[in-house]
């Protein structure tokens, strides 16, 4: 496999598939669905083969491809994966077929809908494998455009406002990110992530930004020292919006609730991970000094993100909005881990060990949340299908009596989101707090409130929707069909497997984490 450009093939496959599906006529809806799903299954097969061939003991980049592209601009086509990259590639390959299945009954221009999903998948694969900013940014934007049209054309009653808000927020973040890396290129002449990380480790990057982009005022280098921080803040905003980190979150609840459920699965399961991936792949290695400089405010924002979003979820009545705020809450734990590891080594007795635990937990949480959140939105789609579009807490009650399998299986996903021991959601949060408590005690202590409130609102959902007296309106509420049970069995089984055997993921991410911790300069 090492002789094959496997990462390029993996990225081009959904891209080519998207053009083929888009060319299918409106009358061939079944063919369009079948082609899109077939392409996603082939991508999943390639991702699994990549996972099987990956050397889990090595923290180095693997399956690397590098070709000169625009030498005058220091642009190489360079792709590779380490433990973080291959984990996100596998998550993408798993969630996209799930989203396609959840969208199977889309009747309006299905060939365009499924083609846009494949375009989005290509953008995600490229984002998680590219190592040169130039083509990484192209893939980053390729994920934005299909998502906008999926929301705008197939969303709910307020889809136009939701799509516009989503586009404006993410585009502003993309612009600031682009400007930051243009500044880096002007100062260093480099766009390669690993090369820039090496310069950051030696202090060359900060010096280059200060010396080449700063200017004097009355003979004093007034802006020189501030320039690296300004560049960092631009890049930070680009990723903070995508996660999102509060207060840059206001686009998310409306977007998730108005997007069609299959698209929401992609937004929460994959696109939000692009932001956390950017923190781990780009900000932490390239701007370690600036991350440490802003550590206290960032920790405060992470805690606010965790606690406030949990309370906001508890206050909602719409299932999609509950899960939307829950998504912000769970990703806040990942950011808490990333920000905590930027502290001085004097702040912990065993800083390397605690940092490794926190970062391993963040990576595992990214995968677990992507799987669990996508599955939960799939269940909401099935509820909407059976109820004629209803999804409010007050619309149901007692469904367990007429649909015990449905409620039981959705309960597994809900308890996974809650972090019940034995399911995949537990171990990621446990590792995060294991690492963060010695590194940022006060932040970790306050963030625990988010876990308590999460348990309250998830148990409230179970009580209001599944338990209590049966609403006579739903006496004929259908249980899951055999086909639906078979399709949902895979993600639910994976939740159980990872809950009992997290080493399946941690064995791959830990060498990458150890290498990252060793390279950080504080």
Q: 3-class secondary structure for 97-133?
A: HHHHHHCCCCCCCHHHHHHHHHHHHHHHHHHHHECEH
Termini Cα distance of the chain: 38
CA nearest neighbour of 155 among 18, 254, 248, 270: 254
Instruction: Report residue 244: phi and psi, to 5°.
Output: -105, 155
Strand positions, DSSP E, 349-444: none
Query: How many CA atoms does the CB half-sphere of 4 hold within 13 Å?
Result: 9
218, pLDDT greater than 50: no
DSSP state of 61: -
What are 301-336's pLDDT values in tens digits? Answer: 999 999 999 999 999 999 999 999 999 999 999 999
Rg over alpha carbons for the chain, rounded to the nearest Å, is 23
Q: Tell me what pLDDT residue 212 has.
A: 81
| Average pLDDT rounded to a whole number, residues 463-472 | 90
Residue 121's pLDDT is 97
Which pLDDT value is given to residue 98?
96
Half-sphere exposure of 473 (CA within 13 A, CB side): 9
Q: How confident is the model at residue 414 (pLDDT cuts 50, 70, 90)?
A: very high
pLDDT tier, 72 (very low <50, low <70, confident <90, very high otherwise): confident
| C-beta separation of 61 from 80 below 8 A | yes
CA–CA gap between residue 291 and residue 488 (Å, rounded): 40
Report whether pLDDT(346) > 70. no
Q: What is the pLDDT of residues 431-455, one digit of tens each?
A: 999 999 999 999 999 999 999 999 9
Residue 347 has pLDDT above 50, yes or no: no
CA distance 435 to 85: 22
Question: Does a cis peptide bond (omega within 30 degrees of 0) precede residue 338?
Answer: no
CA distance 45 to 49: 6
- 50 confidence band (pLDDT: 50, 70, 90): very high
- C-alpha 229/C-alpha 295 separation (Å) is 13
Mean pLDDT of 87-116: 94
How many angstroms separate the Cα of 325 from the Cα of each of 143, 257, 369?
22, 10, 13
111, 39 Cβ separation under 8 angstroms = no
Position 215 scores a pLDDT of 58
| Mean pLDDT on 338-347 | 74
For the segment 25-35, the average pLDDT, to the nearest whole number, is 86
Residue 496 has pLDDT above 70, yes or no: yes
> Average pLDDT of 252-275?
93
What 3-state class would DSSP assign to 392?
A: strand
Residue 225: the pLDDT is: 67
Read off the pLDDT of residues 183-217 as tens digits, 9 standing for 90 and up. Answer: 999 999 999 999 999 999 888 998 888 888 765 44
Name the token pair of 72.
């005058």
DSSP lists the bridge partners of residue 210 as none
Q: Distances in Å between the alpha carbon of 390 and those of 110, 321, 386?
A: 23, 13, 9
**pLDDT for residue 220 is more than 70:** no
The total of other beta-carbon atoms located within 10 Å of residue 106's CB is 21
Residues 335 and 6: their CA atoms lie apart, in Å, by: 31
pLDDT at position 522 is 54
Phi-psi region of 244 (alpha: psi -120 to 50; beta: other; left: phi over 0): beta
Q: Who's near 493: CB < 8 A, 6+ residues apart?
A: none
Residue 387 has pLDDT above 60, yes or no: yes
Cα–Cα dist 267/501, whole Å? 27
At residue 1, does pLDDT exceed 80? no
Whether pTM > 0.85 for this model: the answer is yes
């Amino acid at each position: 496999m090492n002789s094959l450009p496997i990462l390029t093939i993996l990225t081009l496959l959904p891209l080519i598939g998207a053009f083929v599906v888009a060319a299918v006529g409106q009358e061939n809806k079944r063919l369009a669905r079948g082609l899109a799903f077939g392409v996603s299954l082939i991508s999943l097969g390639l991702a699994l083969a990549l996972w099987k061939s990956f050397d889990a003991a090595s923290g180095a980049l693997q399956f690397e491809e590098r070709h000169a592209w625009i030498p005058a601009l220091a642009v190489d086509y360079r792709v590779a994966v380490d433990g973080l990259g291959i984990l996100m590639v596998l998550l993408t390959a798993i969630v996209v077929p799930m989203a396609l299945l959840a969208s199977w009954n889309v009747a309006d221009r299905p060939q365009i809908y499924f083609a846009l999903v494949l375009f989005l998948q290509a953008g995600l694969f490229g984002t998680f494998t590219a190592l040169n900013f130039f083509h990484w940014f192209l893939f980053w934007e390729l994920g934005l455009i299909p998502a906008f049209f999926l929301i705008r054309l197939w969303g709910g009653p307020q889809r136009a406002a939701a799509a516009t808000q989503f586009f404006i927020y993410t585009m502003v973040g993309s612009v600031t990110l682009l400007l930051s890396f243009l500044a880096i290129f002007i100062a260093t002449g480099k766009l390669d992530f690993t090369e820039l990380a090496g310069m950051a480790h030696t202090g060359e990057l900060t010096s280059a930004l200060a010396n080449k982009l700063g200017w004097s005022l009355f003979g004093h280098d007034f802006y020189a020292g501030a320039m690296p921080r300004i560049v960092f803040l631009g890049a930070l905003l680009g990723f903070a919006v995508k996660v999102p980190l509060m207060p840059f979150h206001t686009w998310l609840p409306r977007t998730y609730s108005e997007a069609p459920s299959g698209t929401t699965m992609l937004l929460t399961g994959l696109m939000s991970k692009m932001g956390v991936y950017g923190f781990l792949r780009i900000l932490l290695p390239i701007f370690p000094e600036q991350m440490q400089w802003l550590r206290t405010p960032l920790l405060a924002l992470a805690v606010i993100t965790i606690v406030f979003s949990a309370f906001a979820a508890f206050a909602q009545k719409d299932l999609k909005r509950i899960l939307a705020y829950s998504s912000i809450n769970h990703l806040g734990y990942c950011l808490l881990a990333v920000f905590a590891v930027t502290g001085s080594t004097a702040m912990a007795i065993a800083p390397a060990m605690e940092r490794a635990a926190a970062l391993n937990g963040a990576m595992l949480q990214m995968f677990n949340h992507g799987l669990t959140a996508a599955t939960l939105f799939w269940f909401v789609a099935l509820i909407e299908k059976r109820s004629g579009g209803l999804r409010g807490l007050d619309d149901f009650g007692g469904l367990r009596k007429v649909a015990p399998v449905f409620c039981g299986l959705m309960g597994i996903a809900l308890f996974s989101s809650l972090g019940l021991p034995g399911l995949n959601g537990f171990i990621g949060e446990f590792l995060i707090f294991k690492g963060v408590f010695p590194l940022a005690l006060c932040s970790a202590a306050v963030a625990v409130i988010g876990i308590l409130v999460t348990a309250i609102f998830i148990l409230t959902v179970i009580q209001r929707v599944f338990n209590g007296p049966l609403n006579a309106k739903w006496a004929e509420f259908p249980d899951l069909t055999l086909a639906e049970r078979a399709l949902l069995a895979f993600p639910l089984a994976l939740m159980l497997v990872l809950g009992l055997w997290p080493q399946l993921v941690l064995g791959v991410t830990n060498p990458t984490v150890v290498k990252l911790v060793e390279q950080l300069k504080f």
